[in-house]
A and B are shown apart, each in its own frame.
Chain A
Amino acid sequence: MRGFSSLAALAILLFSLSLPPAPVLAETAAAESVLGQRDVEEGLTCQCGCGLTVAACNHLECSFAVPVRKDIAESLARGESGEQILERYKREYGEKVLSSPVPEGFNILAWVAPYLGIFIAGSLMFTFFRRRALRAPVEATTAPLPTSRKTDERIARLQDEVEESKR
């Protein structure tokens, strides 16, 4: 049960680290926005066919990325928030212009599934290896390593080396 809880905690921790910044999840006022020019450029996919974000598009005279970068700079200067700019582009080009799925509705699955998968796979693996092993006697060579003194540690290491070199 302890192993299960540890895995659940690990999965939740990793998931929370992976979520997009809070402002992307909800509409916020311009004053509260934390999305800067670079973040908004990263949030949009270039439509020229390069497959990169607007920030990374390598075409210096790109018909999409260049004017969009300019528009983002001007819009931010006017007081429009990064989220509002992203929303405007989403309305104009559809969801495909956003470089990652907005975590709402079906798209939540995109963000949750990897961690859910890790949690389920991990639970199954650890349960399997703890419970479904053959009840064979434990071999003498697998006794726990001595841990307290330096000399013990060295002897343990040499035992370890010998055992591995036999393989």
Chain B
Amino acid sequence: MIEIGNLALYLALATCLYAIGTSVYGAQRSRSAFVASGEHAAYATWGLVVIATTVMVHALLTNDFRLKYVAEYSSTTLPLRYKITSLWGGMEGSMLFWALILTTFIAIAQFQNRARNRALMPYVTATTCTVAAFFLSMLALITPPFALLPYPPAEGTDLNPLLQNYWMQIHPPSLYLGYVSWTIPFGFAIAALVTGRVDDLWIRTSRRWCLMAWFFLSLGNLFGARWAYEVLGWGGYWAWDPVENAAFMPWLTGTAYLHSVMIQERKDMLKVWNMTLIIMTFGLTIFGTFLTRSGVISSVHSFTQSGLGPYFMGFLCFVLAGSSALLVYRLDALKPRHKLDSLLSRESAFLFNNLLLVGIAFATLWGTIFPVLSEAVRGVKITVGPPFFNRVNAPLAIGLLLLMGIGPLIAWRRATMRHLMETFLPPAAFGVAAGVAIFAAGMRSLSALLVVSFSAFVVYTVVSEFHTGARARMSMVGEGYVAALRGLLRKNQRRYGGYIIHVGIVCMFLGVTMSSVYRVEELHTVAKGEEFTIGDYTLRYEDSGSSEDEHMASLKATLRVFEGGREITVLEPEKRFYKRPEQPATEVAFRSTMKDDLYVILGSIDKDGKATFQGYVNPLVWWLWFGGAVLVLGTAVAAFPARRAVERERARESAAAAREQAG
């Protein structure tokens, strides 16, 4: 069985290389049989990677400790669900999982475009298969997942206890889906550059892939934050760790792309910029993989040092150099048809939005690599931690929040002062009123005041966009208000889906700002029956207990929680001691409401029964997760087109295919 896995990987690498060669040869010589053969080879690569992954999952499920990977990341006592998730718990398995997703996406893209975009597809196949070939060569030659142990142990080391959590089952797959999805738009961008067909075609064709990539990256980051919140037990959810940054940077440049692409579609501008953003985003996904696997920068998330670093760095340089050369080669064809008329225009607002998003990505990248730079230049190790990232990025993020309100309302081309006054006076007044209200309520933090004011401003603009649109439909089409709102959503899902996403982002801004600025933190050591307070909550330490099974031992405390003299809940924070590997872990207990989260960690329980608790009250943190749910809803609205839009797109594609055949 294991030999089959190994063989499948080698064959997958061979078919992948074959797909690259035949696709390019077929396109260059206009030999459609070669192009078709290349596509079949890409399907075969996918099939072979599925076989290799199946062999690995089988080995994990059957505790086949002859395999080094299974012995290191699983055990006989590991629950079934974690046996499956240990596929991405270690370096080799995660690379195999990456290859599985990538080859699956390549196969899907091939299938979707089997009868369209025929001029682009050979180069899409070649580009995406080059990426797949890189990962497969790493798996086949550098970090083989099917390496055998000379003396198989009777029991495995087990999966890291920190990874034995629900959020860890869904966080890495979401992140990988997001990372890997960017390969397809990158493939289309490179194909457009190679063929010189740099109109909107590659953008329209890869739009859903971009949305999907952005969606899964958003989810991956959110799930990771939730995992950190529940498992790491420090009361926070984002620590600006290099690996967190690695997932955040492509999300930022991807968000910039999703905005700037609208300018290209409407105004035929920003073609070079959009190409640059796609290349940058894809490059950052490879950079993120490099960070996690190279050991260059220390991180709590990274895999053990593997020697993969130089290969990833080499591949990244190859990608950036090759893409940049193509971009320069096609600069003339990418010239915009229109120029920017005024700084007071929607185009400018989008450009500023892009500037800030890419600026935050750059600041994050800069802070992440600065310790390495400092050591190389000065020979001095320094730390660039959360205070740096918060200080540098907060003003940029607040500026971005403001632009979220300005962008949808400002006129295209050139806005007059009169238009600005008419359009922005009501939302600006609403924003200022919100700021004054919370100032009067006692809030004095500048960042909190700005975020609340700008959030109110953005929400007003979004609501007024829906309202004005619905009123316009009512007067033109004669519908009722609710029907007009529905019609508005149906007719332009992309725009209104985007507005819903904006509301989600506003919720997240509020959650992050308030829980960071107004967090309350307390440490208490109490005996059974004693009470202590955290913020407005009173907690009574009732009892403690312990339990043990073959997998772990657990120590649990029971706390009754009162608010205003009324019992509201019982919390049971836990301290766990995993047996393989021997490692303690914290099981946080928390009560989440829209107002705040009461978050309690059990530190220790003495022999005399006294227990130490660390407690936090995190205001409005619920809104961070709620914002994530709104973001999912908005993306669903934006990504799934109405039937008419699908028909229109099909008609356009048929016309394009007919033109292609006639030509």
Contact = CB atoms under 8 A, between A and B. Distances in A.
Contacts, number: 199
Interface stretch (B29-37, B61-69, B167-175, B375-383): B375-383
B463 interface: no
A52 B394 contact: no
Contact of B339 (A43, A115, A133, A154): A133
A99 B422 contact: no
Contacts of A126: 340, 343, 348, 351
Contacts of A52: 234, 239, 385-386
A114 B392 contact: yes
Interface string B466-496: 0011011101100000000000000110110
Nearest to A155: B472
A23 interface: no
Given A60-B603, A106-B374, A133 B336 contact: yes
B531 interface: no
B607 interface: no
Contacts of A153: 468
A118 B382 contact: no
B206 interface: no
Nearest to A102: B382
A20 B391 contact: yes
A9 interface: no
Interface stretch (B151-159, B411-419, B630-638): B411-419
B366 A114 contact: yes
A51 B612 contact: no
Contacts of B494: 164
A29 interface: no
A130 to B, nearest CB: 5
A132 interface: yes
Nearest to B642: A165
Interface string B352-392: 10111011001100110010001001101111111110011
A101 B391 contact: no
A107 B374 CA distance: 8
B543 interface: no
A6 B358 CA distance: 18
A78 interface: no
A101 B234 contact: no
Interface stretch (B110-118, B265-273, B312-320, B558-566): B265-273
Interface in A2-29: 2-3, 6, 10, 13-14, 17-20
Q: Which of B299, B347, B352, B612 lies at the interface centre, i.e. has the most chain A CB atoms within 10 A of its CB?
A: B352
B340 A56 contact: no
Nearest to A55: B521
Given A110-B367, A117-B359, A18 B380 contact: no
B380 A95 contact: yes
A101 B370 contact: yes
A72 interface: no
Nearest to A45: B383
B472 A154 contact: yes
A134 B392 contact: no
A167 interface: yes
Contacts of B645: 165
A107 B382 contact: yes
Contacts of A98: 382-383
Contact of A114 (B234, B298, B363): B363
Interface residues of B, number: 83
A53 B387 contact: yes
Given A18-B394, A56-B239, A129 B340 contact: yes
Interface string B494-505: 110000000000
Contacts of A147: 411, 415-416, 418-419, 422-423
A142 B339 CA distance: 12
B339 A131 contact: yes
A125 B343 CA distance: 12
Contacts of A157: 468-469, 472
A117 B604 CA distance: 48
Nearest to A38: B521
A98 B382 CA distance: 7
Nearest to A57: B234
B337 interface: yes
B408 to A, nearest CB: 11
B299 A51 contact: yes
Contact of A110 (B232, B338, B388, B601): B388
A43 B587 CA distance: 28
B299 A136 contact: no
B309 interface: no
B542 to A, nearest CB: 20
Contacts of B241: 51
Nearest to B383: A45
A42 B236 CA distance: 13
A64 interface: no
18 contacts: A6-B343, A17-B394, A18-B392, A18-B394, A42-B386, A51-B298, A106-B377, A114-B362, A114-B363, A115-B359, A132-B336, A133-B338, A147-B415, A147-B418, A147-B419, A161-B469, A163-B266, A167-B265
Given A106-B378, A110-B370, 18 more contacts: A18-B392, A18-B394, A97-B383, A99-B383, A100-B385, A110-B367, A110-B384, A115-B359, A125-B351, A126-B340, A126-B343, A129-B270, A129-B347, A130-B339, A132-B339, A136-B337, A153-B468, A157-B472
Interface of A: 2-3, 6, 10, 13-14, 17-20, 42-43, 45, 50-53, 56-58, 60-61, 94-101, 106-107, 109-111, 113-115, 117-118, 121-122, 125-126, 129-134, 136, 138, 142-145, 147-148, 153-155, 157-158, 161, 163-165, 167
